[in-house]
Chains A and B, each alone.
Chain A
Amino acid sequence: MSERAEPRRAAQRVVVTSPRTHSARTHRPYAAIPVMDEQSELGALYMRSLIKAQRRLGLLVCAVVCGGLALLPLLFTLAPSLGGQRVLGLHLPWVLLGVLVFPVVVLAGWFYVRQAERGEREFADLVERP
């Protein structure tokens, strides 16, 4: 890279507001594995299945967490007595929305990361198989 070749010009400031997308785009990263070359039908098929699996996983985690949360306002409206219930001296909505929701979200995130990485490992094993 040119900056490194001229260390003496280090004093000159350069504004970095965007990546070098141009150089990134002219590069074909996956050509080294024949099956991942975009010309290959098989590679495209593998890729499509990976995208589909990851999309399903992401949507599933979102649907469970967001869907579960979305039920709460409805529940509190339909059964107002629920809002007055006390758990550990606090009202139920406060316990759910103020405390419990956060560990649940972290747990869901942890589950997602584990599953997504497993999916990618399996994909890598698949395409790198000789």
Chain B
Amino acid sequence: MSNTWGVAAVLVVALGTVLIGTYGLRVSRTTSDFYVASRTVSPWWNASAIGGEYLSAASFVGVAGLIFARGPDMLWFPVGYTVGYLVLLTMVAAPLRRSGAYTLPDFAEARFASRSVRAVASMIALGIGWLYLLPQFQGAGLTLHTVTGAPTWVGALVVAVVVTANVMAGGMRSITFVQAFQYWLKLTAIAVPAAFLLLAWKAHGTVDLTGPQLPVFHEQTTVTFENTTTVTAEREVVVSGSGVVDGQRHDGPGLMMTQGGHTIEAGSRLDFPAGAAVPHVSTIASNTNASWALPMSSGERFPLYAVYSLMIATFLGTMGLPHVIVRFYTNPNGRAARRTTLIVLGLLGVFYLLPPLYGALGRIYTPELLMTGNTDAVVLVLPSRMIDGLGGQLLGALVAGGAFAAFLSTSSGLMVSLAGVLSQDVLRLGGVRGFRMSTVLAVLVPLGMTLLVSGMPVADMVGLAFAVAASSLCPLLLLGIWSTRITTAGAVAGMIAGGGPALLAGLVTILADTGDSWYHVLLARPAAWTVPLGFAVMYVVSLLTPRRRPAGTNQVMVRLHAPENLGLESSEDRA
């Protein structure tokens, strides 16, 4: 794959981010300007900014990759990411904005007037943030690897350095404009190539995407194996090339891969003839293109449980993500917060129409990714594969740039939230210096973890962060906003009872290989049991400890729910 243009696009995006960050530093004014400016942002700008920050590695590369490998069950990811905002809109947006909270720990303190509730919320926000940063770094590594062939840790390091430098310089965060621009950049970067891909697909004779055959090599394809890979061949295939297959060194033409499982050692390069059925990684279910297009075809052991657990995690988890909440503070009041969220729903809906297209076209044009297991790369590889010459390279560069923008914007948002939590609640260091130290700490932990992580799909890992948020901070928000009965003891117990197991399950799936065991799905998709647990414990413990109900709950409730049109000076106008 030719890569000059791709490298150029990634460089432009990274440099642009740094430049805008330093430029933003120049025009940054006083603290009060920061607050006041927050009231002059229109819902459209704000919504674009939220979209820009929200569409992460999981949305840009992960969703298409999962659909490509596992079929329409994975459409629940984009659906869940969007419906999560509907739940946020209907249950949380306006009251949260009226609470005046800037971060989730702030909300916890404002609602419960308790340092301990705040402390637990901070810890959990930190855990979610780190869990969410990990796939961003991983996705960046993958992108840079696909574009340049550099080892995966390079991309992770690049994103980490750019984002840390930028956050420490004070850029990004206060500049709604940058995030808003990022949304439109990402939409362009995925929509324009998609249009050309559709045209190319028509020009190639509108190949049936869901035909009855197994995925086959569209043309003669050389596949390089970077890791030792176990594949299953559905049909026997004769390949040439060099490498170690099933422990046997092989060079030259005429290697017969019989039907069944084979182990291909790292460093092998094999040529597959056009029209041969593609062997697939043993973790991906065997499907013809027709059976792949049907629901429940992903080969998971409990597909119905997995789907429902994913729905619960994404529907309820969105509201608990640290970088999502912060964005609501830039709305002038609760009413604007609602309108902003409504626009966000539209923006996300438009974006999510596109990734499935890449997933489906990938079955025809980049089936070898099923064999290397590098399915997240499908968005990045497709343009240059389907369109020859300079055009394809430029489109590929556009996609790579967009993907990099996705990692940078989401990581920046997360990093600011995490550094804020760390400096305020953990290190207890105020001022610019404390914030900078916290930024470094905030980036080192997930960066270190990327070294330990196995090749888990990006969107799956993000799903785990959603599950933790849905089981801990979601009960805190929903019950805290809508019930006066919740006590400080209940809030703390509920967050720990729901978030603790979810976080633990997430870490176990990420760091250990639970593979085929029956409980794998319970750990990889914990939301279906941890969310009810969190809600139940929070409510029941609250009923058992009525004396611990915070004083002034009623005043807080008035502040959360009283509409702005009372013609009074309301809390948000004083910001």
Contact = CB atoms under 8 A, between A and B. Distances in A.
Interface in A1-36: 1, 3-4, 7, 9-10, 13-21, 23-25, 27-30, 32-33, 36
A130 interface: no
B156 interface: no
B89 interface: yes
Contacts of B348: 102
Contact of B89 (A17, A51, A112): A112
A55 B343 CA distance: 22
Interface stretch (B270-278, B291-299, B379-387, B540-548): B291-299
Interface in B340-359: 341-342, 345-346, 348-350, 352-353, 356
Contacts of A44: 554
B435 A62 contact: no
Contacts of A15: 423, 430-432, 434-435
Interface string B356-367: 100000000000
B210 A91 contact: yes
Give the interface residue-count category, chain A.
35 or more
Contact of A77 (B90, B210, B296): B296
B339 interface: yes
B250 interface: no
Given A4-B32, A18-B420, A29-B570, A98 B102 contact: no
B60 to A, nearest CB: 17
A29 B561 CA distance: 12
B94 A106 contact: no
A98 B575 contact: no
Contacts of A42: none
A21 B556 CA distance: 12
B431 to A, nearest CB: 6
A88 interface: no
B158 interface: no
30 contacts: A1-B32, A3-B31, A15-B423, A16-B31, A17-B103, A17-B420, A29-B571, A62-B91, A70-B308, A73-B295, A77-B295, A80-B296, A83-B72, A83-B295, A91-B72, A91-B210, A94-B356, A97-B76, A101-B83, A102-B82, A102-B352, A102-B353, A103-B349, A105-B83, A106-B349, A109-B90, A113-B338, A117-B335, A121-B565, A124-B566
Interface in A84-122: 84, 91, 93-94, 97-99, 101-103, 105-106, 108-110, 112-113, 116-117, 120-121
A14 B87 contact: no
Tell me the interface secondary structure of chain B in the complex. helix
Task: Enumerate the 3 nearest inter-chain pairs by beta-carbon distance, A residue then B residue, closest first.
Answer: A102-B349, A17-B420, A120-B563
A110 B28 CA distance: 36
B86 A105 contact: yes
A18 B558 contact: no
B106 interface: yes
Contacts of A120: 335, 563-565
Contacts of B210: 91
Given A13-B28, A24-B574, A54-B561, 19 more contacts: A15-B423, A17-B435, A19-B101, A21-B110, A27-B574, A32-B569, A38-B558, A55-B482, A59-B91, A62-B91, A91-B294, A93-B72, A102-B82, A109-B86, A112-B89, A117-B338, A120-B564, A124-B565, A124-B567
A69 B83 contact: yes
Contacts of B35: 16
B315 A66 contact: yes
A3 B33 CA distance: 9
A17 B103 CA distance: 8
A24 B86 contact: no
A98 B356 contact: yes
Nearest to A99: B353
A108 B86 contact: yes
Interface in B274-313: 293-296, 303-304, 307-308, 311
